[in-house]
Amino acid sequence: MTKSTTKLSEVVKTLELSEIEMLDDALEPIKYRIEVLKDLTLEHNHYYARVSRWETYRMTPRFVGTEKEPGDVQCDSEVLILDDEFRGREIARESVDEVVNGVIEYMRSRGYIK
């Protein structure tokens, strides 16, 4: 039997960080989600992070008002997206706490958090 190359992982911890004030005051605060996953295809403990951030967007429905005078009905919504800064960057460690600390250290080193 050949070994599968499919990576099977389990989310073992999810953390929601409160709004983080950015070092650049012109930027809006960001809310992050850190998911710690365990690679189930390995025999030893191997944990890694997947980092996402909440983005807010506003839509105005087309059916309200007219083209020249849009209505004042708006819809705010949030969507969770993978953060480009962390995409493809694996912060892998041997424990859940080490992964979380690795993500926080990386955010501090890049100037994302104070």
**47-59/9-16 β-pairing:** unpaired
CB 9 within 8 Å of CB 39: yes
What pTM does this model have? 0.72
pLDDT for position 109: 84
Give the burial class of 31: count Cβ atoms within 10 A of its Cβ; 0-12 exposed, 13-18 middle, 19 or more buried: middle
Q: Return the closest-CA partner of residue 49 out of 96, 6, 81, 112.
A: 96
- pLDDT bin (cut points 50, 70, 90) of residue 1 is very low
Strand partners, 82: 52
DSSP state of 22: P
pLDDT for position 47: 92
pLDDT tens-digit series, residues 26-84: 667 788 899 999 999 988 889 999 999 888 887 766 666 666 665 666 777 889 998 88
pLDDT higher for 114 or 65? 114
Question: Average pLDDT of 12-34?
Answer: 81
pLDDT for position 91: 82
pLDDT higher for 71 or 5? 5
Element (H, E) at 54: strand 47-59
Length of the chain: 114
Strand partners, 14: 35
Structural domain spans, the chain: 9-109
